[in-house]
């Protein structure tokens, strides 16, 4: 299951995504957590200190390795240099699984020990001084999109992505890569404005969107969210002494998280599981191709010097039954 957490900056999306990762780990299921926000707060939210978080390998720094591994023996992609962030898999491509060892995980993923198990953590890497004047920060998430395009995951396997803030997720097709998207919204006009943008942009792509109300303090806040987002409101979360302790670097054991917040996490898990039966791998693949062709025409063909439309394998549909080459 592929799950995204989005929301405006400061909404609490990283906190909620880290709590959900902890909940999944405590449930005993395998989890890959990905920090796709250049602010890079997911590691500390999962308990890493500043030195450990700063030492995590950046996906963007291993882009050549990622491309070379994923292209495999696909005859439509003769070199890693001709791959872009939206390049879709085809016959001969190597696919990623949640529960496996591979060169991408070896280079880019690190285990994070939690109370009830460990998760794999991958990060895009922060925007650095070297990027100033020469790079758009959206390029940092390109490696994440490429990995998601080549990922085959099952019902009881989880990839949780802490996305870029606001509506910046729509700078690429990555917003269509998820079984469900949880939008974290505060009970304010600014808090729900991102929801309206996301709802409008995602309308034509079959995106399953649910709102998590955060920092809800009373009935007035709850009524406001119901009025603004309607049936898309799934759960609400209020003040948490556990989270306050975590933000100070001293989280208690996860088992003592407040009962109300534990119930909210279980509801998120149930909502995610319910989307499994809605999976449409053919549509998923069509959307992948749609954004690839759009990027190819916009900038990819010029940058690579080749017609990237030729990378599309018309007979290929990504799915759980597709086997990766050795």
The pLDDT tens digits for 83-93 are 999 999 999 99
| Residues ≥6 apart with Cβ < 8 Å to 135 | 127
Residue 136: pLDDT band by 50, 70, 90 thresholds?
A: very low
Residue 128 or residue 144, greater confidence: 144
Whether 161 contacts 36, CB under 8 Å: yes
pLDDT average, residue stretch 276-292? 95
- The count of residues in the chain is 326
Distance CA 103, CA 65 (A): 8
Confidence of residue 166 (pLDDT cuts 50, 70, 90): low
Residue 133 has pLDDT above 70, yes or no: no
Q: Do the beta carbons of residue 197 and residue 183 sit within 8 Å?
A: no
Q: Is 91 in a helix, a strand, or coil?
A: coil
Count Cβ atoms within 10 A of the Cβ of residue 190 and give its class: 0-12 exposed, 13-18 middle, 19 or more buried. exposed
Q: For 100-122, what is the mean pLDDT? A: 95
* Mean pLDDT over each residue of the chain, to the nearest integer: 90
Quick check: helix, strand or coil at residue 110?
strand
Whether 190 shows a pLDDT value over 80: the answer reads yes
Q: What percent of the chain has pLDDT over 90?
A: 76
Residues 43-79 have pLDDT tens digits of 999 999 989 998 999 999 999 999 999 999 999 999 9
Mean pLDDT value across residues 181-190 = 94
- What average pLDDT score do residues 103-115 get? 96
CB pairs under 8 A, 24+ apart, for 218-222? 220/187, 221/187, 222/187
Angle among Cα 169, 264, 274 to the nearest 5 degrees reads 70
The pLDDT value given to residue 130 = 46
**What is the mean pLDDT of the segment spanning 148-161?**
96
Q: What pLDDT does 321 receive?
A: 83
Q: Is residue 36 scored above 50 in pLDDT? A: yes
Top-confidence residue, 314 or 117: 314
């Amino acid at each position: 299951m592929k799950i995204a957490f989005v929301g405006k900056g400061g909404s609490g999306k990283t906190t909620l995504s880290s709590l959900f990762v902890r909940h999944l780990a405590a449930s005993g299921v395998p989890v890959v957590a990905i920090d796709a926000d250049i602010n890079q707060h997911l590691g500390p939210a999962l308990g890493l200190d500043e030195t450990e978080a700063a030492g995590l390998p950046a996906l963007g720094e291993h882009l050549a390795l990622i491309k070379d591994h994923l292209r495999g023996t696909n005859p439509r992609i003769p070199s890693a240099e001709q791959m872009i962030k939206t390049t879709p898999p085809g016959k001969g491509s190597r696919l990623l699984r949640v529960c496996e060892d591979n060169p991408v995980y070896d280079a880019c993923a690190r285990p994070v020990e939690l109370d009830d198990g460990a998760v794999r953590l991958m990060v895009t890497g922060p925007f650095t001084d070297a990027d100033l004047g020469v790079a758009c920060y959206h390029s940092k998430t390109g490696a994440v999109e490429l990995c998601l395009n080549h990922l085959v995951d099952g019902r009881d396997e989880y990839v949780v992505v802490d996305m870029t803030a606001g509506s910046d997720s729509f700078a690429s097709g990555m917003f269509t890569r998820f079984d469900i998207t949880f939008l974290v919204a505060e009970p304010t006009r600014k808090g729900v404005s991102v929801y309206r943008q996301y709802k409008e942009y995602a309308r034509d792509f079959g995106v399953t969107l649910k709102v998590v109300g955060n920092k809800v303090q009373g009935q007035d806040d709850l009524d406001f969210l119901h009025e603004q987002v309607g049936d898309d409101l799934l759960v609400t979360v209020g003040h948490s002494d556990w989270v306050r302790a975590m933000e100070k670097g001293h989280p208690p054991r996860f088992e003592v998280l407040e009962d109300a917040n534990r119930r909210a996490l279980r509801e998120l898990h149930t909502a995610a599981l319910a989307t499994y039966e809605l999976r449409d791998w053919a549509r998923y693949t069509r959307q992948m191709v749609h954004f690839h062709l759009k990027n190819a025409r916009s900038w990819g063909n010029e940058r690579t010097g080749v017609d990237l439309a030729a990378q599309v394998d018309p007979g290929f549909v990504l799915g759980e039954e597709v086997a990766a080459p050795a």
